[in-house]
Structure 1
């Protein structure tokens, strides 16, 4: 029995060391770490059982006044610690010492939170054993929101352990946040929350801006109804292939947008609840009846987004001319700063400053267009200035050396060559147009983009393609300026620790306490030996 006692103690020390190593490598939720914890617990129970008589003597026979007072001190210290923890949890007071005040909420956010009276679920999808600065920032900021209003119910969901739940909410990224209420739900991607300036590498924190805007869209603003035009070979919203647009539809739904299909040949009138019509690369001609319905819709203050390609049918010009623009069959060829591996028709356009493009310009972002067409504006004398006033804003342009190739033979043979008949650069690739009727002062908003494939399933997640697209959509839906919260910048420049490195630092921080306790036990044991030796000398 004595040999077993001596064997169990070093075994316990070894098991603790193994636990520390497993925790650093895999974290506390891995199956190997859990088995190791269980083994440690069993060894500890074994030590107590084998040394039961010694433990019994300590509490019964050797329970001196000094030991009793020491035990009372330990109990009081534990009780005070628990009391302080409960007190600190009940007091809603925290100080933000972060660079840039990342967790300090603005008055706009506090005002919105004070008005929330119905329950809002906030589901944060993050693996329990995964941690990094971005995920921690999102979690801590959400907790600040929850502290301000008890109607916000916050829950962390592990998408690995709760796979079915992640599929139900269409979660594809760790760090995604779902805001859900009786009015609906909105999913926020972590890519919207933290950004990075490409030039300075500074991290840009948009958490408060994004979360407050999301809550306002969910609780205050009504969902917007967007209709996708069908019947002319337009984009297929249900196609999940590389060249389909199923991902775009999924992302738009996450923006509190209700999407419906619209076929004007089968519908007497455009629905009254229509906030925006998306016309994505129609390859067949519009009938006169359809064009009249769209014209009436614009005159009544409707909004339209037109997306073009080289094969777009020419009857689209009837709609474009109502926005002061028109389209000639062309394909843009870039002769400067193009990507050799992708060809001269792959365009990385320049941004023109506007409220739509400012967020992209300020963070030095780019968008990627696999091929696009140039859009032209009507001469002043061809605009219907008697009935309408026009504000035409270019958003994207090519370089000066680019041109719009119009020779079909050269395009089909892939042997394009610039000549006098081509459209000279720089060419505009996207426009935002505001048209107002002079008699009734009714405003219509029209967006025109000279590419469709830049937001298909293959390209939508490249660079900032979707960010530009959704900025334009929100502007067309009159959602601009709803929340005036500026992003925050910290002094940290892309610094990130892996989960194992973070756990290693935790152990290093905890190690001094362990060494202090070991030293204390060693001193107690040494003193005990000295006392025993003195007693023997006296005897």
Structure 2
């Protein structure tokens, strides 16, 4: 009997595992185990992929996106660049770690090494740097520079002062690293003298930061206190003067350009016609001012005709990085092109209004196409001083070969004088450049600066905002009515009809 009972119990247990429910349950368990195994294997495989490739940029401002400017620079590197990151890697912000890995992956010339200053405190002394710093160096050039994490991940100080909470406003990994790599691998140094003494506007921190990234040295120069323009001046910059030049300054400027100098002038709220001395210099190069402010109802911001989006006619160095063609100018004065006083001068416009532009004064409005940005160039040939010496020697020494004296007299060097005039200082007004991040105002300005230097490309890259972006409709109209009332009404009507049909059924 006991045997029979055991057989019956065993049979019941076996029967429990042969039911349809048990079969489905076993299938579910097996499938779950298989899925878990696949997930584990998938994660193990993904974990073996380098960090630079497995981190996807899902941010709205694409902070990990590396610019074409950087890619071009890194692809052309000939020398090894070492980056020593003096920081505890596990404690470093993920955004910095991810960007460094993505940056280094673009070139086999870049070597990144993380050094823990807690485990190796002597490294701070060895590299003369503080913690949370990147030391960028190039053995071939012997140059070294440092980048603090604070310059890459910029803290919003105003928020910190008011709320006491640390938050970040900008991410500048691309700009800071590219500037450092360019500095340590290049031997090009350019000095820009900013003219003072005429009520010129100060350059914004945005512009000075971009110049610093391009390794330009910015120095102030008062022309009234100088008897000549310094020999190391690579570009003379006038930013929105409110007073005219003196006659002596006109002579300095004229002689500087005649010797192959580079001058860049941004006009302020005062029209060029109110600056007769400065206007006389520009007239030599075929540039004349127009009375009044310029309006362009065809190309303006939100029906405000004095907020102009000029047409860009850029090529070569001026076109680098220009993609949207969106540049905003306010309080602009117009210019027209005339015949230069010398045939060797070539003048062309790179910013202008549409044909529906207007020069507006208190008494009249003149329609036409007005220039807002102009470049004038002239090739200057200077004879070698040795040619005159050889002529004198030939007069006293009859044995001198005539062919040699001819070759000496023909020896000469050439240089290019360049005059750039932009009719609105608002091009680099921080209220505009910081409020509209999609504009290319600073890009066209820095391109115009860099175009003065042979073999120098604009490598200044703006920081990317970490602020919250909102999708807003600027103009209320039919579209806004459709979104606010039309779509909800359609959904409600459709839902009511479905409910009504089901209720009747």
User: For the superposition of Structure 1 and Structure 2, which TM-score range results when normalised by the shorter chain?
Assistant: 0.5 to 0.7
Count of aligned pairs between the two proteins = 334
Which whole-Å CA distance do the structure 1 matches of 2:144 and 2:191 have between them?
14
Paired residues of 1:326 and 1:375 also in contact (CA < 8 A): yes
Q: Paired residue for 1:327, among 289, 308, 328?
A: 289
Shift of 1:473: 0.8
- Contact 1:146–1:153 under 8 Å retained in 2: no
Say if 1:219 and 1:326 are closer, same or farther in 2 by CA, change over 3 A.
same
The equivalent of 1:144 in structure 2 is 105
Q: Distance between the aligned counterparts of 1:289 and 1:432, measured in 2?
A: 24
What whole-Å deviation, never above 9, does each CA across 1:73-106 have from its counterpart, x for those lacking one? xxxxxxxx9xxx9xx99xx9x99999xx999998
Moved more, 441-450 or 218-227: 218-227
Superposed displacement of residue 112, structure 1:
2.5
Match of 2:326 in 1: 366
The answer to whether structure 1 residue 225 and structure 2 residue 225 are counterparts is no
Higher RCO (C-alpha 8 Å, min separation 6): 1
Structure 1: 5+ residue stretches without partners: 1-80, 158-168, 170-175, 191-206, 238-244, 411-416, 484-497, 499-539
Given that 1:276 and 1:305 are in contact with CA atoms closer than 8 Å, whether structure 2 keeps it comes out as yes
Within the alignment, does 1:273 sit opposite 2:273 as a pair?
no
* Cα distance in structure 1, aligned partners of 2:311 and 2:286: 22
Q: Where does structure 2 lack aligned partners over 5 or more consecutive residues?
A: 1-43, 57-64, 118-128, 154-172, 383-412, 460-468, 470-505
Verify the 8 A CA contact 1:299 1:442 in the aligned structure 2: no
User: Counterpart of 2:242?
Assistant: 283
Distance, in Å, in 2 between the alignment partners of 1:95 and 1:247 is 32
Structure 2 match to 1:501: none
| Cα distance change, pair 183–477 in 1 and its aligned pair in 2 (3 A) | farther
d(CA) in 2 for partners of 1:331 and 1:432?
21
1:179-190 paired onto structure 2 within 5 Å: 182=143
The answer (yes or no) to whether the contact 1:356–1:468 under 8 Å persists in 2 is no
Cα 1:220–1:347, aligned 2, differ >3 Å: closer, same or farther?
same
How big is the shift at 1:210?
9.8
Pick the aligned partner of 1:400 from 346, 350, 355. Answer: 355
The answer to whether the Cα contact below 8 Å between 1:324 and 1:378 also exists between their aligned partners in 2 is: yes
1:352/1:441 Cα in 2 relative to 1: closer, same or farther (>3 Å)?
Answer: same
Q: Which residue of 1 aligns with 2:376?
A: 433
The equivalent of 1:390 in structure 2 is: 345
- The 3-state SS of whatever aligns with 1:278 is strand
Aligned partners of 2:369, 2:76: CA distance in 1, in Å?
A: 46
Residues 178 and 349 of structure 1: CA distance in aligned 2, closer, same or farther (over 3 Å): farther
Query: How has the CA–CA distance of structure 1 residues 374 and 114 changed in structure 2, closer, same or farther, with 3 Å as cutoff?
Result: same
Whole-angstrom CA distance in 1 between matches of 2:207 and 2:456: 20
Residue of structure 1 equivalent to 2:206: 247
After TM superposition, the score normalised by the length of structure 1 is: 0.51
How far did 1:331 drift? 1.1
| Residues 404-483 of structure 1 aligned to structure 2 (within 5 Å) | 404-405=359-360, 407=361, 409-410=362-363, 418=365, 422=366, 424-438=367-381, 441-461=414-434, 462=436, 463-480=439-456
Q: Do the aligned partners of 2:450 and 2:457 also contact (CA within 8 Å) in 1?
A: no
| Preserved CA contact (<8 Å) 1:122 1:180 | no
Q: Deviations over 1:318-346 (max 9, x none)?
A: 331243312233311112242346x2111
| Shift in CA distance, 336/319, structure 1 to aligned 2, threshold 3 Å | same
Cross-structure match for 2:260 = 301
Judged with a 3 Å threshold, the aligned counterparts in structure 2 of structure 1 residues 97 and 236 are, in CA distance, closer, same or farther, namely closer
1:156, 1:349 → 2: CA distance? 52
> 1:248 deviation in Å?
2.1
Q: CA deviation at 1:308?
A: 1.1
Q: Deviations over 1:46-71 (max 9, x none)?
A: xxxxxxxxxxxxxxxxxxxxxxxxxx
Indicate the SS of the match to 1:345. Answer: strand
Cα deviation for residue 179 of structure 1 reads 5.6
User: Which residue pairs with 1:198 in the alignment?
Assistant: none
Q: CA 1:218–1:146 in 2, change beyond 3 Å: closer, same or farther?
A: same
Q: Root-mean-square deviation (CA), in Å?
A: 4.8
> Shift of the alpha carbon at 1:350?
1.2
Partners of 2:299 and 2:308 within 8 A in 1:
no
Report how far residue 276 of structure 1 moved.
0.5
2:496 is matched with which residue? none
* Structure 1 residue 137, shift from structure 2 partner: 6.9
* Structure 2 residue 305 is matched with structure 1 residue 344: yes
CA deviation after TM superposition for structure 1 residue 279, in Å:
0.8
Q: Helix, strand or coil for the counterpart of 2:316? A: coil
Cα 1:189–1:325 change in 2 (3 A) is farther
Counterparts of 1:293 and 1:142, CA distance in 2: 46
TM-score (norm 2): 0.54
* 1:450–1:137 distance in 2 versus 1, CA, 3 Å: farther
Q: CA offsets per residue over residues 24-65 of structure 1, 9 Å max, x none?
A: xxxxxxxxxxxxxxxxxxxxxxxxxxxxxxxxxxxxxxxxxx
2:338 matched to 1:375?
no
Separation (CA, whole Å) in 1 of partners of 2:449 and 2:433: 15
Q: Secondary structure in 1 aligned to 2:192?
A: strand
* Distance in 1 between residues matched to 2:347 and 2:378, nearest whole Å: 8
Tell me if 1:112 matches 2:74.
no
Distance 1:229 1:447 in 2: 15
SS at match of 2:193: strand
> 1:122 & 1:113 partners in 2: Cα distance?
22
Which residue number in structure 2 is paired with residue 236 of structure 1? 202
2:261 and 2:152 mapped to 1: Cα distance? 29
Matched residues in 2 for 1:142 and 1:459: separation?
30
Structure having the larger proportion of residues in strand = 2
What is the CA deviation profile of residues 335-393 of structure 1, one whole-angstrom value per residue up to 9, with x for unaligned ones? 2242346x2111011111312443455x22411112211121122xx5222xxx22323
